[in-house]
Structure 1
Amino acid sequence: MTQLSSRFLSVIFIILLPLDALAQGSYRNLDPEDRSGELSLGFSLRPQTSPYLGEDYRRDWQPMFIYTGETFFFNTNEAGWHLIDNDDWQLDLYAGYFYGGYNEHSIFWSETGRDDDDALDGMSRRDAWESGFALTRKTDYGRFKLDLNADISGAHEGYTASAEWSKVFRFNRWQVEPWFAYQLFNDDKSNYYFGVREDEATDTRNAYKIDEATDNWEIGTAFRYQAAQHHYFGLNLYYTIYDNKILDSPIVEESTILTANINYRYEFNDLSNPGPDGDVYNFFFNNPNPWSMRVAYGYTTDSSFMDIVRGEFERNDDGTSMGSVFLSRQLTERFMWLPIEGWAQAGVARRFENDIQGDFNEYVFAFKAYFTKFPWSNTVKTRFGFAEGLSYATKVPAVEQRRNDDRDRNTSHLLNYLDYSWDVSIGDIFRQKDLKDCFFGFSIHHRSGIFASSDLYGNVNGGSNVNTLYVECIRS
């Protein structure tokens, strides 16, 4: 594998990594034995009480992207590889995102019940990328897991060790999974998120250092329900208890956290047919469904997403631009019982920053829906498309940096991705049958923090838009 392809796969892996709250409980929206190889799209709502002084609760919304392969997997709260997976043992190498950070300028914080006298004023902590191993023993009495992970992003530079018991009870369309876990944060991690440095001390906030590991506990239950072939609902309730050394911090008011997670996902499982040789279906390596390649180029604009939809295409003064290549694979011919095609897509974009900063890459994973049943489509096939996904930029685009600096807001490399497009068949326009499945069109390449509503995107309020023209060809 070339260095470029290795780097691309690594970044695609990163943008599909998990999301978690300050508490360590997972979304648990999947059967832990699911190896179906299916892709799912969904969303999650998470209200949570907060341990911090002056803050009553947090709330969060975020999309979910899921793949349950026999070897590789990703879920809203974890991604990685099953190194060992049999009836008795499971060993996973995984990576994930720990949400313990905070930022005093975040809209997320100001809208969730803080007092005017902010206990965290002038303080800031980063979230962390963490990676590790999880060893699970499978028995009739449940799953017993040992887990060890460490910070790989240079945020808290600590580690977490945990031991967990869980068991899934299955009742037709229902699943109930209770669990109990012990978690050990080492002193680096505990002190980073709950300590107060000397230069952060004020008249009302003393310096505080946690110089030893903290013992934390968690207990919860997940409820899962399959309503129909494609529709899955989940409710996860869990209670986290922090060590007294955390409670003694001057910025901490409560040692317990109650979290609820409500989630829904749509599983694309109606095209999981055997491959052409009768082999077991695999989305990546044995998939008879059509695929496509799209090549696009366009210019950055200061117009909002809705202004562009209404017909405003003004280029911004920075003179920045973007080129991209996307690969897509069809998931379904009818989405939500409607005549809408569903596709999974991954792309690489090159951001050209016009000497404002160095050029850089952006990596995208998304689900895209196409509507094609227009009255004139038998004459000139026309598609309207809309995509939802994740965008990871190796640098923050200049237009995003400028806008957030003006408003004194934080930025993020990882943001929500939307794509809005219209295209027509080149073959139908020029009466060339061999080009019938090639399309020329316009799209909006959009990155945003969803109005600072999601912890996943660093509570960023704002983003960027690029108007692009593209050619896309479909192949069977």
Structure 2
Amino acid sequence: MLNKLSCCLLLVFCLSSYAAGNDKKPSNESTVFNETFSWQAQMGFSLHYNDTIIEGVEQSYLDDYINLSLLFDFYYKGFFIQTNYRRLDTHILGAEIGYQLINNDDWELDIITRSYIGGFDSAEIIENSDKDLPIMEGLKVRDLGDGLAIRYSRYFNDSYFSVDVANLAALSDAKGWVIDAFYSHLIPYRNWDIYLNTGLSIYSSATTNYYIGIGNSEVLDIRPHYQTGTGGKIQFEFYAQRPLSESWTFNVGFSQSYYSNNIADSPIVDSQGATQLLAGVIYVF
């Protein structure tokens, strides 16, 4: 499975290389808004279905489906906070903070911090579940996977490609590294901006085992010791936005992820795929 993931990463990179044209980056997709200072704030409200592969994680109450977010973009002399408006994960894992190292017309190199993996607390999962989950009892907390990364970004006429190499241990209790590649193609249709996206994440063995591995201290009769190697995830995504007025924008999205076999084989993982759905509005201040 990992070899297939590596081939997909190569395919994503090749697609970006053959995208039409080598136009300059769009102003709303660069960390540079002007030479010195710029900012923009948006408030998002959406209904959100967020499936995960972890056993027992479910949305049980109405407020589990409601997502409120503040999207804040800021730039000052190379330092930035930015939102990836093409990507559905932005509404879950939040914005990116970083510093611009190199900025050219059609590519840039940044150092950034962002969340790459959602964490979980087994005690919280058990408390919020309406069924018994002995398989989850006594697990250590898995922290949110915040990472410090180098990102290469490449811009085309209607497409965008990026690859992050992130160290999770630098900013959190999570271990190991992540390589995260993302390709997005924009299709303008009437008043819609439609983004067709694909992503590939490769997790080091330390990262994979931190999140879905079972250590010696966590072994139960129904939960055997489990350690594995490098894992990965392929993601396919549809995301669209349509302006309703000068201040309001409607957005809708769908994302489907598939994980490598060695992740799906963990005793605390109940499926190989995860689905996300989102529909909502964004207000621009």
Provide the TM-score with structure 1 as the length reference: 0.45
User: Equivalent residue of 2:29, what SS?
Assistant: coil
What is the CA distance between 1:231 and its match in structure 2?
1.1
Q: Which runs of 5+ in 2 are unaligned?
A: 1-26, 84-93
1:188-199 correspondence to structure 2 within 5 Å: 188-199=206-217
Which of these residues, 40, 43, 48, is aligned with residue 41 of structure 1? 43
Distance 1:63 1:89 in 2: 29
Q: Which residue of 2 aligns with 1:119?
A: 135
Which fold has the larger relative contact order, with Cα–Cα distance below 8 Å and residues 6 or more apart in sequence? Answer: 2
User: Does the C-alpha gap of structure 1 residues 200 and 104 become closer, same or farther in structure 2, counting only changes over 3 Å?
Assistant: same
Distance 2:254 2:29 in 1: 17
Instruction: Tell me if the contact between 1:43 and 1:64 (Cα under 8 Å) persists in the aligned partners.
Output: no
What is the CA distance between 1:260 and its match in structure 2?
1.7
Matched, 1:204 2:204: no
Q: Which residue of 1 aligns with 2:193?
A: 175
Q: Which runs of 5+ in 1 are unaligned?
A: 1-29, 269-476
1:43-62 correspondence to structure 2 within 5 Å: 43-56=45-58, 59=64, 61-62=67-68
Q: Which moved more, 1:67-76 or 1:219-228?
A: 67-76
User: Does the C-alpha gap of structure 1 residues 81 and 228 become closer, same or farther in structure 2, counting only changes over 3 Å?
Assistant: farther
Distance 1:81 1:245 in 2: 35
Q: Which residue of 2 aligns with 1:32?
A: 29
Distance 1:236 1:256 in 2: 17
Q: Amino acid of the residue matched to residue 258 of structure 1?
A: T
User: Equivalent residue of 2:71, what SS?
Assistant: strand
Question: Residue by residue, what CA displacement relative to the aligned partner does 1:176-208 show, whole Å, maximum 9, x if unpaired?
Answer: 111111110001111010001111111111110
Distance 1:233 1:169 in 2: 16
* Cα-Cα RMSD: 2.6
User: Does the C-alpha gap of structure 1 residues 38 and 88 become closer, same or farther in structure 2, counting only changes over 3 Å?
Assistant: same
Question: Residue by residue, what CA displacement relative to the aligned partner does 1:362-387 show, whole Å, maximum 9, x if unpaired?
Answer: xxxxxxxxxxxxxxxxxxxxxxxxxx
Matched, 1:67 2:73: yes
Q: Amino acid of the residue matched to residue 39 of structure 2?
A: G
Matched, 1:84 2:90: no
User: Does the C-alpha gap of structure 1 residues 38 and 173 become closer, same or farther in structure 2, counting only changes over 3 Å?
Assistant: farther
What is the CA distance between 1:166 and its match in structure 2?
0.9
Instruction: Tell me if the contact between 2:148 and 2:171 (Cα under 8 Å) persists in the aligned partners.
Output: no
Q: Amino acid of the residue matched to residue 46 of structure 1?
A: H
Distance 2:126 2:252 in 1: 24
Question: Residue by residue, what CA displacement relative to the aligned partner does 1:135-157 show, whole Å, maximum 9, x if unpaired?
Answer: 11222462222211111234122
User: Equivalent residue of 1:137, what SS?
Assistant: strand
User: Does the C-alpha gap of structure 1 residues 146 and 97 become closer, same or farther in structure 2, counting only changes over 3 Å?
Assistant: closer
Question: Residue by residue, what CA displacement relative to the aligned partner does 1:213-245 show, whole Å, maximum 9, x if unpaired?
Answer: 112211101111221111122222111111100
Larger Rg: 1
Q: Which has the higher helix share?
A: 2
Instruction: Tell me if the contact between 1:50 and 1:57 (Cα under 8 Å) persists in the aligned partners.
Output: no
Distance 1:128 1:54 in 2: 20
**Number of aligned residue pairs:** 236
Instruction: Tell me if the contact between 2:39 and 2:72 (Cα under 8 Å) persists in the aligned partners.
Output: no
Distance 1:239 1:183 in 2: 13
Distance 1:165 1:128 in 2: 21
Q: Amino acid of the residue matched to residue 38 of structure 1?
A: Q
1:19-418 correspondence to structure 2 within 5 Å: 32=29, 35=33, 37-56=39-58, 59=64, 61-67=67-73, 69=75, 71=78, 72-75=80-83, 76-106=94-124, 110-111=127-128, 113=129, 115-123=131-139, 124-140=141-157, 142-151=159-168, 152-171=170-189, 173-210=191-228, 212-268=229-285
What is the CA distance between 1:31 and its match in structure 2?
5.6
Question: Residue by residue, what CA displacement relative to the aligned partner does 1:111-157 show, whole Å, maximum 9, x if unpaired?
Answer: 3x553134211112222321212211222462222211111234122
Distance 1:232 1:67 in 2: 17
Q: Amino acid of the residue matched to residue 226 of structure 1?
A: P
Distance 2:195 2:74 in 1: 18
Q: Which residue of 1 aligns with 2:4?
A: none
What is the CA distance between 1:68 and its match in structure 2?
5.0
